[in-house]
């Protein structure tokens, strides 16, 4: 087992740097971390303190890295079966604590929410977030609260989302029309949805500031850029396991991430410059209300000595919203269609409901969603079985505390294994089976109120975009199933293998062939 794990570790280095580490590099790595590990090994806990959680012993210096499974959520779940719902795992010089039951998750995310409100900042997370100033990674405090309030008050609230329905509808219809031109041909469903959500999110933030031709070019490039960013976030990184080595970026991942961030930054700067030019020429003043870009630019101009908001903050926030609002939705809908293709009986139930509620001479509207209870149940079951953030974004306690009877040291990297909790047979009947029926006539919601089911997290750092995600996923899934039948290319087998990373994706993307279900061509325009 150890030799296999080391091969994974070595191959990851080779994949990201182009060569294997030489002996001098590896010895330098060991020398730099030896002192901190020595201090840890000789340090004895005080008798009057709670013990650290149980966990595998590991090796000096490298800890459990040689034994690590690339599928971290699954690896941690197996350790929890052996050691209990609170475990410690040392990865290099980093102490990781993993919580895997509703009871201890409640302590972390609710009872001690303020203590665990800070993020453990990874090297790629810092590169992605302009040094940690975005909504996802920023330390808990006045700045973070300002960003969260901006998003909720000005962008992701019921009134605003309802007002933006025409925009969502337009992009959904464009997607259906685009797929209609490809009937009978295999296509990547994830890519189609990704382009749809990108167009919607960017229009929601800055409207028609860019020319149509420019947006078309950016949409094509966006898919490649976002895939690489997600891939980089999911790669094992020496800088995270040995923070003392982070300044050296031994795997050369930081320049790759910054290259993609710069791609987005150029778009944002172009949008800002164009908007300022339009305003100086008096264009766009006839529009009712302000879009999100106008609100943020005014905030920059007004200034605030206590919680300043700069162009860097604006760009970091825009990048947050684009990544969170596109890839997560595309992946969730892809999982839903895949699971339904696997079980034709369930697919038939979903389409029967759509035919009864929407009809065959109409198109899906968001107003239909409250009556599409089976579609809602399908999406909730997808988020149970394949939560987007299997371990949530890692947190770190600002002070030592006791959770589940164990001492959780200040500065530890803390994970909550949502994936394991939502598949635990103690809380779910036949947890590995895809059964949307379990959510029919139930009170389960996505608000993180019940720590047996919280795919978007819970507490003050839970995902702010849940209201948008809930609308988008159900609306797009309903539109795709109502408009088309879906089948695999001849000779292809459906693969539901998961791939761990920044979010839970399909290891092999779904490629399917659409066939029109509706009789009138006008329903595809």
Residue 401, marked binder: no
Backbone angles phi, psi at 61, to 5 degrees: 70, -60
Question: From the CB of residue 22, how many other CB atoms can be counted at a distance below 10 Å?
Answer: 9
DSSP string, 306-326: SS---HHHHHHHHHHHHHHHH
Q: What three-state secondary structure class fits 57?
A: coil
The two three-digit tokens of residue 28, written as one number: 């330098």
Please tell me the number of Cα atoms within 13 Å of 424 on its side-chain side: 20
Cα separation, 147 vs 117, in Å, equals 15
Q: Which of 492, 479, 465 is nearest to 337 (CA)?
A: 479
CA-CA distances (angstroms) from residue 152 to 77, 146, 155, 160, 292? Answer: 34, 10, 6, 9, 11
The two three-digit tokens of residue 141, written as one number: 């405090």
Long-range contacts formed by 113-116: CB under 8 A, 24+ apart: 113/459, 113/460, 113/461, 114/140, 114/460, 115/397, 115/398, 115/399, 115/401, 116/395, 116/396, 116/397, 116/414, 116/459
Cα separation, 87 vs 97, in Å, equals 6
Backbone angles phi, psi at 261, to 5 degrees: -65, -40
Helix (H) or strand (E) holding 91: strand 86-91
Is-contact 58 67, C-beta < 8 A?
A: yes
Is-contact 463 115, C-beta < 8 A?
A: no
Q: Which of 163, 180, 184 is nearest to 172 (CA)?
A: 180
CA-CA distances (angstroms) from residue 443 to 309, 447, 450? Answer: 40, 11, 10
DSSP code, position 59: B
Binding-site annotation: residue ranges for heme: 463
Binding-site annotation: residue ranges: 463
């Amino acid at each position: 087992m150890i030799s296999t794990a080391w091969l994974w570790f070595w191959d990851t280095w080779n994949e990201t740097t182009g060569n294997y580490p030489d002996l001098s590099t590896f010895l330098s790595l060991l020398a730099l971390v030896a002192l901190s590990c020595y201090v840890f090994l000789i340090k004895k806990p005080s008798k009057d303190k709670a013990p650290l959680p149980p966990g595998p012993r590991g090796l000096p210096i490298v800890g459990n890295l040689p034994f690590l499974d690339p599928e971290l959520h699954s690896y941690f779940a197996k350790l929890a079966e052996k050691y209990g719902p609170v475990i410690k795992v040392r990865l290099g010089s980093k102490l990781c604590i993993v919580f895997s039951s509703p009871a201890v998750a409640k302590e972390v995310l609710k009872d001690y929410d303020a203590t665990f409100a800070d993020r453990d900042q990874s090297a790629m997370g810092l590169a992605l977030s302009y040094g940690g100033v975005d909504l996802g990674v920023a330390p808990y405090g006045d700045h973070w609260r300002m960003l969260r309030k901006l998003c909720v008050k000005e962008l992701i609230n019921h009134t605003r989302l309802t007002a933006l329905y025409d925009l969502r509808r337009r992009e959904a219809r464009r997607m259906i029309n685009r797929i209609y031109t490809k009937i009978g041909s295999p296509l990547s469903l994830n890519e189609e949805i990704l382009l749809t959500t990108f167009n919607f999110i960017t229009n929601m933030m800055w409207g028609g500031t860019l020319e149509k031709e420019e947006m078309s070019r950016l949409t094509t490039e966006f898919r490649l850029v976002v895939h690489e960013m997600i891939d980089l976030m999911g790669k094992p990184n020496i800088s995270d396991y040995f923070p003392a080595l982070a300044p050296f970026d031994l795997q050369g991942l930081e320049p790759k991430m910054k290259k993609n961030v710069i791609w987005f930054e150029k778009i944002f700067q172009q949008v800002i410059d164009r908007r300022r030019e339009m305003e100086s020429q008096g264009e766009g003043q006839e529009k009712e209300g302000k879009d999100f870009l106008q609100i943020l630019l005014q905030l920059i101009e007004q200034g605030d000595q206590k919680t300043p908001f700069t162009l860097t903050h604006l760009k970091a926030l825009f990048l947050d919203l684009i990544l969170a609002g596109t890839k997560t939705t595309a992946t969730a809908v892809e999982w839903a269609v895949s699971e339904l293709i696997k079980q034709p009986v369930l697919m038939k139930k979903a389409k029967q409901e759509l035919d009864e509620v929407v009809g065959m001479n109409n198109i899906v509207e968001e107003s239909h969603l409250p009556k599409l209870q089976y579609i809602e149940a399908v999406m909730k079951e997808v988020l149970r079985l394949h939560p987007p953030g299997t371990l949530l974004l890692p947190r770190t306690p600002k002070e030592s505390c006791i959770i589940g009877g164990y001492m959780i040291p200040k500065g530890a990297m803390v994970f909550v294994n949502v994936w394991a909790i939502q598949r635990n047979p103690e809380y779910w009947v036949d947890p590995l089976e895809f059964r949307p029926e379990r959510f029919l006539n139930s009170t389960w919601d996505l608000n993180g109120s019940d720590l047996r089911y919280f795919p978007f997290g819970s507490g003050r750092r839970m995902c702010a975009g849940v209201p948008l995600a809930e609308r988008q996923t159900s609306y797009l899934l309903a539109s795709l199933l109502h408009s088309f039948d879906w089948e695999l290319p001849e000779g292809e087998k459906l693969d539901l293998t998961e791939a761990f990373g920044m979010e839970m994706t399909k290891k092999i993307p779904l490629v399917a062939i659409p066939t029109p279900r509706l009789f009138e061509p006008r329903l595809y325009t």
